[in-house]
């Protein structure tokens, strides 16, 4: 049940992946998978999905004996399910807490840096907001686009569910731990957020920078554009690591999967998905 809910929510993400050009990997990077068989179960953070899908496709195309299943559910779910041993790799768009790491014996693999950016509909003229304005909007003190120089229409606010790592990072660094008004609509994945804003001319939401394409427009924060360069240089402050977690040191197929993320081919996929690869 839960699986179907969340995997369905990811449909936009999956569709986006199909549209992404995937370079054929260097054969040498995929060599460790030769002769391997078995399956890897992955779930959790929804920002990770495009990379996970692309990597899985690379691996499964050279070795059809390997089965890789990818689900969403949010960072909280990824941490919990990998900790409980329900999946092999749990993805999280935030660093797990000390408590979570200690309780489950989690091992962290930070393979990319990602920004979280506010987004609006491409037809919206407002492309720049200050931190104060953003906080005021999410805190419910500004409710109309007119108040920030736009048209006289109510701002339709969108936020993410409790489990979301994207939400946690945006709340902490983008809103400076400010209030998020309860009237905001709640969507359950980065893909669903993008779809919602792409269809709502008066919407305001936030999404992993890797998910931004022409269907939505990123909002400049305090004069800094949420571009890859600015995230990498640290000028754009709302950034976070993308983590993959295992319970205990990974071995066998899972280890090779995670190692692949750090090979040139893996890094190329990560960069191609709009993230900054970490060595």
Site residues for other proteins per CB under 8 A:
2, 4-5, 8, 11, 73-74, 76-77, 80, 100, 153-154, 156, 158, 161-163, 179, 182-188, 195-196, 199-200, 202-203
CA 57, CA 39: separation in Å to the nearest integer?
13
| Residue nearer to other proteins on the CB measure, 204 or 258 | 204
**Do the Cβ atoms of 56 and 39 come closer than 8 Å?**
no
Cα distance between the two ends of the chain: 37
| Residue nearer to other proteins on the CB measure, 73 or 226 | 73
CB of 161 to other proteins, least distance (A): 5
CB of 186 to other proteins, least distance (A): 4
| Residue nearer to other proteins on the CB measure, 11 or 26 | 11
| Residue nearer to other proteins on the CB measure, 203 or 266 | 203
**Do the Cβ atoms of 262 and 51 come closer than 8 Å?**
no
CB of 208 to other proteins, least distance (A): 17
CB of 79 to other proteins, least distance (A): 8
**Do the Cβ atoms of 74 and 238 come closer than 8 Å?**
no
Whole-angstrom Cα Rg for the chain? 19
CA 16, CA 33: separation in Å to the nearest integer?
26
Name the one residue in this structure whose structure tokens are 């905001």: 184
| Residue nearer to other proteins on the CB measure, 158 or 170 | 158
CB of 237 to other proteins, least distance (A): 22
Antiparallel, parallel or unpaired: β 156-160 and 203-208 = parallel
């Amino acid at each position: 049940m839960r699986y179907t809910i969340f995997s369905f929510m990811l449909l936009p993400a999956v569709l986006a992946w199909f549209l992404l050009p995937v370079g054929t990997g260097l054969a040498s990077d995929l060599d460790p998978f030769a002769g391997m068989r078995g399956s890897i179960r992955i779930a959790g953070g929804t920002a990770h999905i495009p990379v996970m899908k692309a990597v899985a496709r690379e691996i499964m195309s050279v070795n059809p004996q390997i089965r890789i299943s990818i689900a969403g559910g949010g960072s909280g779910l990824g941490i919990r399910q990998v900790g409980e041993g329900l999946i092999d790799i749990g993805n999280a768009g935030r660093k797990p807490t000390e408590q979570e790491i200690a309780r489950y014996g989690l091992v962290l693999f930070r393979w990319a840096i990602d920004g979280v950016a506010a987004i609006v509909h491409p037809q919206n003229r407002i492309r720049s907001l200050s931190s104060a304005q953003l906080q005021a909007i999410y805190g419910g003190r500004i409710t109309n686009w007119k108040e920030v120089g736009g048209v006289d229409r109510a701002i339709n606010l969108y936020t993410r569910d409790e489990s979301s790592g994207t939400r946690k990072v945006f709340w902490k660094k983008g809103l400076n731990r400010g209030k998020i008004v309860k009237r905001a609509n709640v969507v359950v994945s980065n893909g669903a957020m993008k779809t919602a804003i792409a269809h709502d001319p008066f919407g305001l939401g936030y999404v992993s920078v890797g998910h931004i394409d022409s269907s939505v427009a990123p909002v400049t924060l305090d004069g800094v554009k949420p571009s890859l360069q600015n995230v990498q240089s640290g000028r754009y402050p709302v950034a976070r690591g993308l983590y993959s977690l295992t319970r205990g040191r990974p071995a066998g197929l899972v280890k090779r999967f995670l190692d692949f993320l750090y090979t040139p081919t893996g890094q190329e996929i990560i960069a191609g998905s709009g993230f900054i690869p970490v060595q």
